[in-house]
Amino acid sequence: MKNLISILDLSLEEIDELIATANDIIENPVKYSEKCHGKKMATLFFEPSTRTRLSFEAAMYELGGNVLGFSEANSSSASKGESVADTVKVVSYYADIITMRHPKEGAPLVASMNATVPIINAGDGGHNHPTQTLTDLLTIKREMGRFDNLTIGLCGDLKFGRTVHSLVQAMMRYNNVKFVMISPDELKIPEYLKQELIDAGVEFTETTDLEKAMPELDILYMTRVQRERFFNEADYIRLKDSYILTSEKLLAAKADMRVLHPLPRVNEISLDVDDDIRAAYFRQACNGKYIRMALILKLLGVE
Amino acid sequence: MHIDEIKNGLVLDHIKAGKSMKIYNYLELDKLDCVVAIIKNVSSKKMGKKDIIKIDAEIEVDVDILGYIDPGITVDVIKDGKLVEKRHLELPEKVCNVIHCKNPRCITSTEQGLQQMFKLTDKANGIYRCIYCESKAKHGSLL
C-alpha cells in the first residue's frame, strides 16, 4: 500500500493491521512518540476542514514529526491556476507524505499518479473520505469488539452522505452484517449501492421510522438531514424531528447499542444523549487521531 | 450497386445501420489517403440492415474504440483479396479519451492535460465509470 485514495484500496487484513496498530498506540502512546522524528507531512487543504486537518496534524505531531501546508485554496498556488499534478510534484520534494482535501472528485487520485511520496485522501468533494471510514471502523471494533454479526442502522441523509456510502461498502465485506436504512423517501440510499448489497447477498431493510427500527440495532450511525436537500419547506418541517435522536427514543434501544456520528452535529442528536454511555461519537472523534497515526506509520513504512 | 473488392485492407462489418459515419469520424479515417468505402443500409439476414466500411490499406484500427462503440462489429482482415482473419470485438477494460466525464465536480473538468479514462465496471450491462470520480457512462452513449 502506497496511497490511500478509497477505503476499497484496503484489504480486510490491512484494515485489521491498521486497527491493531491504532489500539497499540492507544495503549502505549510513549512507544510511538518519536517514530516519525525528522519526517514531514504536507497538509494540502484546497477547501477548509478544520476537524480533519487538526486530526491529521495532531496525529503527525504525536508521532514526533512535523507538519507544513495550507488550509484553503486562496493561500496556495491553486488560486493562481496551478494544476494538482504540478502542486504535488513540487511538494514531493518538501515532504515525506501528503494529505490532501480537494473540492474536485478524483483530485487525490491525480495527485497519487504524479507524486513521488504517499498520498492520503482527506476528502474529495462528495466522493471519498477513507480516513473517516477507518475512524468509524476503529470505533466499531473498540466499542463492539467485532465486525461480524452486527445490525447497523444508518439514519438521516443516506442519499448524499458519503460517509454512509463508504461505511456500507466497508462493513458489507464482513459476515452476517445487516443494515437498516432509516431515512425520508427523498433521501434513500442510491440505487447503485442497493444493487451492490443485493449482488453480495447482504440483508438490508429500508424504513422511514427511526423509533420502530431502534430495538434491533447494535449500531446507530446518525447523519444530519440538511434543509437544502428537501424539495419543499413543508416536507422538511414535517420530517426534521423524526430524525432527531433524543434520550427518550433511546429507551427502546439495546443496552449495549452504540451511537456513532461523523460530526459536526447540528441538532440531529439532542444534547441529553451525550451523557449516555451508548453515545460513542466523541470517542469516535478521538479514535480518528489514532487511526490516522497508524495510517501515517504504515504509509511511511515506519516499523 | 457495385463496389470494388479490396486487395489488402480491412472490412468493418455488422455496423448498426446509420452508424458508419460516426465510426468513420472516431477512427479518423478522413486522415487516410487510400480508398475508403462507406456502404449504408446493406441487407443483412441477421440485422435487417447494416453498414459496412471498407478500407483499402493495411492499417491498424483502434479496436478498443471500436469495441466500446459497438462490440457487435466484426473486423475482417483481407490479404491478396482473401479473408485471412475475422476479429470479434469485446468491450475493452479501459478506454482513453473516448468518453468525456460529464460530472462538473470531477477533477477532469479543471485539471489541464488530464486524459479522460473510463474503466469497465459491469461487463454484463456494459457500464463504464470515470476512474477519477466514478461517474457512470452507459455503454453505447457515443452512438
**Same domain for A142 and A108?**
no
Model confidence at A177: pLDDT above 80: yes
pLDDT digits (tens, 9 = 90+) for A129-158: 999 999 999 999 999 999 999 999 999 989
Q: What are the distances in angstroms from CA A123 to CA A120, A209, A219?
A: 9, 30, 24
Domain coverage including residue A262: 131-284
A246 annotated active-site = no
Asked if A103 and B110 come within 8 Å (Cβ–Cβ), the reply is no
Q: How far apart are CA A76 and CA A69, in angstroms?
A: 9
Q: Per the CB < 8 Å rule, is A109 touching B109? A: no
Whether A165 is catalytic: no
Cβ neighbors of A147 (< 8 A, separation 6 or more) are: A137, A140, A141, A171, A174, A177
**Do A198 and A143 share a structural domain?**
yes
How far away is chain B from the Cα of A126, in angstroms, using its nearest Cα? 9
Choice among A39, A40, A53, A101 that is catalytic? A101
Model pLDDT for residues B17-68, shown as the tens digit of each residue: 999 998 999 888 999 999 999 999 999 998 999 999 999 998 888 888 888 8
Residue A2 covered by a domain = no
Q: How far is the alpha carbon of B71 from chain A, nearest alpha carbon, in Å? A: 25
Mean pLDDT rounded to a whole number for chain B: 89
pLDDT at position B141 = 56
From chain B, which residues contact A within 8 Å (Cβ)? 103, 105-114, 130-134, 136
Mean pLDDT of A8-27: 97
Residue A208 resides in a domain:
yes
Query: Looking at beta carbons, which residues of chain A come within 8 Å of B112?
Result: 83
A166 with A203, same domain: the answer is: yes
Average pLDDT of span A33-60: 95
Instruction: For residue A84, give the chain B residue with the closest CA.
Output: B111
| Chain A closest-CA separation from residue B91 CA (Å) | 21
Q: What does chain A come to in residues?
A: 303
ipTM of the complex in this document: 0.88
**Residue A244 cell numbers, joined:** 432527531
Distance CA B143, CA B139 (A): 9
Q: How many structural domains compose chain A?
A: 2
A163/A279 same-domain check? yes
Q: Do residue A135 and residue A280 come from a single domain?
A: yes
pLDDT score recorded for residue B13: 94
Q: What is the pLDDT of residues B117-132, one digit of tens each?
A: 999 988 888 889 999 9
How confident is the prediction for chain A on average, in pLDDT?
Answer: 93
Decide if A173 is catalytic: no
C-alpha cell at B30: 478522413
Q: Which CATH architecture has domain B9-88?
A: 2-Layer Sandwich (3.30)
A127 part of the active site: no
**Does any domain span residue A1?**
no
Predicted confidence (pLDDT) per residue in A273-290, tens digit: 999 999 999 999 999 999
Amino acid at A178: K
In angstroms, what CA-CA distances link A109 with A21, A120, A215, A271, B118?
26, 9, 41, 39, 14
Cα gap A188→B107, rounded to integer Å: 27
Is residue A80 annotated as part of the catalytic site, yes or no?
Answer: yes
Handedness of CA A129, A132, A137, A138 (dihedral sign): positive
Please indicate, yes or no, whether residues A45 and A85 belong to a single structural domain of this protein.
yes
Comparing CB atoms, the residue among B105, B130, B131 nearest residue A126 is: B105
Q: Say if A42 falls within a structural domain.
A: yes
- Cis before B104? omega within 30: no
Size of interface A-B (CB pairs under 8 A): 48
Residues A193 and A204 in one domain: yes
- pLDDT value of residue A229: 67
Interfacial residues of A (vs B; Cβ cutoff 8 Å):
83-85, 102-107, 109-110, 124-127, 192
| Of B1-5, B7-11, B56-60, the least confident | B1-5
Considering the domain architecture, whether residues A161 and A280 belong to the same structural domain is answered as: yes
pLDDT level of residue B108 (50, 70, 90 thresholds): very high
Q: Mean pLDDT throughout A36-63?
A: 96
A137 and A224 assigned to the same domain? yes
**Residue B134 with chain A: CB contacts under 8 Å:** 105, 127
Residue type, A203: E
Res B143 pLDDT > 60: no
Nearest to A83 among B111, B131, B134 (CB): B111
Residues A104 and A161 in one domain: no
- Catalytic residue selected from A52, A131, A133, A139: A52
Report the percentage of chain B scoring pLDDT > 70.
Answer: 94
Domain covering B94-138 assigned CATH 2.30.30.20 in the classification: yes
A91 domain residue, yes or no: yes
Taking Cα atoms as reference points, which of A300, A301, A297 lies closest to residue A31?
A297
Does a structural domain hold residue A184? yes
pLDDT of residue A129: 94
Contact B111 A107 (CB under 8 A): yes
Domain ranges of chain B: 9-88, 94-138
For B105, the closest chain A residue by CA position comes to A104
Please report residues of A whose CB lies closer than 8 A to that of B108.
106
CB contacts of B123 in chain A (<8 Å) are none
On chain A, the residues whose CB falls within 8 A of the CB of B106 are: 104-106
Q: What is the CATH number of the domain that holds A222?
A: 3.40.50.1370
